[in-house]
Structure 1
């Protein structure tokens, strides 16, 4: 029985079935790590060749999908138009907030979600610390990315372009050169999280982990910041190592959330350190 015969047999659900299939095709293309060929889309959808062709043609006409120079399918102009007209990180911030709140409840510290814009880190979501000491609105501040655990994560996973030469030193502990920073980033990638201790300001520690949209692509950093005396006192177990592992777990939760078909991400308030 062909797809068309099946559709006739379903009667009133015909239109809904077609919408569902078209939506699945769009979602498959948007979630893919690279442009998808016609054959790959047909295989992923399980649809007949003629049905796949008709639906892809209609999705191209609507601007939901388009083809690159090689003829493979990518997200269409409507996605880019929407991103250009709206804050592209609002949806990410909305989806991330429950996880940020859970991290805040667990640690008591300021929690931030940071993304890259150009060569700087922008904080798109924040949950304030339970403590008066350490509470700060990082969304209103701009700090050198190399002094921030969020920034080091974004450097380590190629979201931020690497700086060159001598770096601005805010304290005696601040990483001084791009060569030294590069060495630190190797450690970040091996352990899965970044730390800054007294690098932005004396007495302030930050810890952050990467948020991904695919197995190989990171888009944001989830982190906490607060007084070094608190973040190093082992309230979650063994100090910064345990905080770091905990943040990796929570960042992976957010990564999994973003991978769900209902997520539509195209990114705060403390945690710059």
Structure 2
């Protein structure tokens, strides 16, 4: 008996969780197969939605038969999808999730530079948050204005301006949301919160007045991606006496800034 190597069996794959993988699917050349698969994703990203299998095979230099087999696997795993008329392919949900996860790990240099320039035009703290995967995560914090209780903001999205933006544009989070009362001003009634979220969608901005921390208020506007979907928010924080939803000049400043950040988050 040989110790350290299991007998090969090309009739069956390796058991992983509840799935069986075909180890011999690409004749044992897994590294090369991975390179080809990544090349196909790159081809669709470069050539755009509707890219045909023939175009992908040409772009990657992969034989047509192999390309079709690998494309079907990428579709089955959610990295690619077929366009509605079935003539070609587009990037799928799992590819988008990877892209969003990478962008959420930190701000792009261009985003940071833009926000830094914006900070020179306001005396208040200016912060950027991502809403990736339904979570509030700060990706560019104003170095001159510390965010006190940042964990509290993320865990109690109903009590702060950025969190209300997230809820307004992704109401799935509302199902399991606990409306904890952090201050005497915190909205803890579901009907009242629903009414304010409707107002957020109508006016295009959210606000908090001493709801998360006494003495502090904030305004927030959505940052959108190139598909016009809300990807995060831009928030200004300051004294509750100065940062108010009635300050149309400040609200207008935020809207202008958010438009400049479109597609950068």
TM bracket (short chain):
0.5 to 0.7
Per-residue CA deviation, residues 138-187 of structure 1 (Å, 9 max, x unaligned), is 65654410111111111112276224676111122211222211111111
What are structure 2's unaligned runs of at least 5 residues? 1-40
Matched positions, count: 212
Which gives a bigger RCO, structure 1 or 2 (Cα 8 Å, sep 6+)? 1
Query: What secondary structure, in the 3-state scheme, does the structure 1 residue paired with 2:180 have?
Result: coil
Once residues 54 and 183 of structure 2 are traced to their aligned partners in structure 1, the CA distance between those partners, rounded to angstroms, is: 65
Q: C-alpha root-mean-square deviation of aligned residues, in Å? A: 4.0
**Residues 70-109 of structure 1 aligned to structure 2 (within 5 Å):** 71=86, 72-75=88-91, 79=95, 87-90=102-105, 92-109=107-124
Partners in 2 of 1:166 and 1:147 — Cα distance?
A: 11
Distance apart, 1:116 and its partner CA: 3.1
TM-score, scaled to structure 2: 0.63
Give SS of 1:123's match.
Answer: strand
Query: 1:68 Cα deviation (Å)?
Result: 3.8
Equivalent in 53, 58, 63 of residue 54 of structure 1:
58
Determine the structure 2 residue equivalent to 1:253. 260
Counterpart in 1 of 2:50? 37
CA distance in 2, matches of 1:145, 1:209: 15
Q: How far apart are residue 248 of structure 1 and its match?
A: 1.4
CA distance in 2 between partners of 1:156 and 1:52 (Å): 39
Is residue 139 of structure 2 the alignment partner of residue 110 of structure 1?
A: no
Range with bigger deviation, 109-118 or 160-169:
160-169
1:169 corresponding residue in structure 2: 181
CA gap 1:28/1:229 in 2 versus in 1, 3 angstroms: farther
User: 1:117-156: CA deviations, max 9, x gaps?
Assistant: 6664221211134xxxx63356565441011111111111
Name the SS of the counterpart of 2:241 in structure 1: helix
Give the counterpart of 1:241 among 240, 248, 251: 248
- Correspondent of 1:217 among 201, 211, 229: 229
Deviations 1:193-212 (A, max 9, x none): 11111111221111111111
**2:141 corresponds to which of 108, 122, 126:** 126
Structure 1 residue 78 displacement after superposition: 9.5
| 8 Å contact kept, 1:159–1:218 | no
Q: From the superposition, tell whether residues 68 and 176 of structure 1 become closer, same or farther in structure 2 (CA, over 3 Å).
A: same
- Matched residue SS, 1:113: strand
1:230 alignment partner, SS class: coil
Task: State how far apart, in whole Å, the 1-side matches of 2:92 and 2:170 are.
Answer: 25
Long gaps (5+) in structure 1: 1-21, 30-35, 42-48, 233-237, 259-266, 268-273
